[in-house]
Amino acid sequence: MKLRLSALALGLFTGFVLAWARLTDPNTFRLMLSLDSPHIYLLMGAAVGVAFVGARLVRGRRAVLTGERIDWRASRPTCAHLIGSVLFGIGWGISDACPGPTAAQLGGGRTLALAVAAGILVGVRLQPALACAVAKRATGGEKRAASVVAAADVL
């Protein structure tokens, strides 16, 4: 319960910041993808910088809510990451949208974000069956298919 409330509050904060930084304006992404504005690159760089340092400061400590030991393990990129990122990139390039800002756009009243959001929901819903079918057809084998179906965990 505490985790869910925290997540709701952190999400609210994130959505607010995304909107305030104008990441809810597709034109902001347009300028980023066409390399005309460094705004999002700098923003992401700053976010990763802070998170990189902060994550290492809390690593090994006990999580406040769960008492769990804060830790993670690195993982190598797989075929699924490559295929997934190409598909994602095409969608991103067409729509200038990305899932987080699209969520904030829904709250901000951008009506066409509904079309993007609906696409994302259906895409995520159909992905397992879709990937399974494609992988089976392409490889004819279960073993290789497994690595194409999806990355092991979803963030």
Partner 1 sequence: MRGTFESTLPWWIAGPLIGLVIVALLALANKRFGVVGGVTDLVHGSAEGRGLRSWRTLLVLGMVLGGAAYALLAGAPDAGSAYSWLDTHLSTSGEVGLLFGAGLLIGVGARTAGGCTSGHGLTRLSTRVTGQHRLDDDDHGQRNHDHTAARGGDLR
The residues, ordered by sequence, that sit 6+ positions from 91 with a Cβ below 8 Å of its Cβ are 97, 119
Q: Which of 13, 36, 137, 139 binds partner 1 (CB under 8 A)?
A: 13
Closer Cβ to partner 1, 118 or 138, answer by number? 118
Compute the distance between CA of residue 146 and CA of residue 40 in angstroms, rounded to an integer: 34
Among residues 91, 137, 138, 140, the one that binds partner 1 under rule CB under 8 A: 91
Out of 88, 137, 138, 139, the only residue in the binding site for partner 1 (CB under 8 A) is 88
Of 35, 36, 140, 154, the residue at the interface with partner 1 (CB under 8 A) is 154
**According to the binding rule CB under 8 A, does residue 33 interact with partner 1?**
no
Burial class (CB in 10 A: 0-12, 13-18, 19+), 118: exposed
| Cβ atoms of residues 120 and 99 within 8 Å | yes
Report the residue number, 50 or 138, with the smaller CB distance to partner 1.
50
Q: Which of residues 121-140 bind partner 1 (CB under 8 A)?
A: 121-132, 135
Which of 33, 35, 36, 81 touches partner 1 (CB under 8 A)? 81
Q: One-letter amino acid identity for 152?
A: A
| Contacting residue, 35, 137, 140, 153, with partner 1 by CB under 8 A | 153
Is 51 one of the binding residues for partner 1 (CB under 8 A)? yes
**Residue 38 phi, psi dihedral angles, 5° rounding:** -85, 0
Q: Contact, 54 vs 61, CB < 8 A?
A: no
Q: Please state, in angstroms and as integers, the Cα–Cα distance from residue 62 to each residue in 2, 15, 18, 33, 126, following that order.
A: 16, 27, 29, 40, 37
Applying the rule CB under 8 A, the residues between 103 and 122 that interact with partner 1 are 103-113, 115-122
Q: Is 32 in the site for partner 1 (CB under 8 A)?
A: no
